[in-house]
């Protein structure tokens, strides 16, 4: 174990914490968004039973059942709890990193003590591992501060991953509205 290893792990865990917080926030907000849309559709179908066409009742039922299933799946993923554990872990890794000795320009740093190595191993075991994408994103945004310079592929993969995450999230907000507008205008 080198001081660099602890730094990279700590930075990747920060990124994993951010990813889990993103998932927690947007999964909760999407559940509320879909619940509002489902409720609005239920109220509208009282007065206009075919507002989205002759299969409005079937679509409303499918939406309600899907919303129930998705809310159970999201609750089981426990993004908030996992994000908090990841935060605790990266703060402990940061503390360990600060305690490791620095090298000088003329000599390498002294080897870490057996206690420091054991503590690093304990911290790795205490938390789920970060994903490869977390490591890539943390290194791409630490440009100039890292000894592991991301390759062009890693840079492209990190930026692509962030863009896809944004596009998928935005699509999940927009799809029900677009589907409703399409169904409404498609009616004879």
* Residue 172: per-residue pLDDT: 94
For 119-169, write each residue's pLDDT tens digit. Answer: 999 999 999 999 999 999 999 998 777 788 889 999 999 999 999 999 999
For 31-59, write each residue's pLDDT tens digit. Answer: 999 999 888 888 888 887 777 777 778 88
For 66-91, write each residue's pLDDT tens digit. Answer: 899 999 999 999 999 999 999 999 99
pTM, 2 dp: 0.85
DSSP codes joined into one string, the chain: --HHHHHHHHHHHHHHHHHHHHHHHHHHHHHHHHHHHHHHHHHHHHH-TTTT-TTHHHHHHHHHHHHHHHHHHHHHH-HHHHHHHHHHHHHHHHHHHHHSPPPBTTBPPPPPPHHHHHHHHHHHHHSPPPPHHHHHHHHHTTTTS-SSPPPHHHHHHHHHHHHHHHHHHHHHHHHHHHHHHHHHHH--
């Amino acid at each position: 174990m080198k001081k660099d290893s602890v730094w990279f792990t700590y930075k990747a865990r920060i990124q994993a914490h951010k990813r889990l917080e993103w998932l927690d926030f947007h999964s909760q907000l999407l559940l509320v968004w879909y619940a509002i849309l489902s409720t609005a559709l239920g109220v509208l179908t009282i007065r206009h039973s075919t507002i989205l066409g002759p299969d409005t009742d079937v679509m409303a039922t499918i939406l309600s059942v899907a919303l129930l299933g998705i809310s159970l799946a999201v609750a089981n993923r426990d993004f908030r709890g996992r994000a908090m554990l990841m935060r605790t872990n990266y703060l402990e890794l940061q503390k360990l990193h600060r305690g490791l000795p620095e090298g000088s320009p003329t000599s390498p740093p002294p080897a870490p003590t057996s206690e420091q190595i054991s503590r690093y191993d304990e911290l790795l075991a205490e938390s789920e591992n970060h994903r490869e994408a977390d490591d890539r994103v943390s290194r791409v945004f630490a440009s100039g501060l890292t000894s592991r310079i991301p390759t062009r592929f890693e840079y492209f993969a990190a930026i692509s991953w962030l863009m896809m995450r944004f596009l998928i999230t935005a699509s999940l907000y927009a799809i029900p509205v677009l589907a409703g507008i399409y169904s409404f205008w498609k009616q004879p």
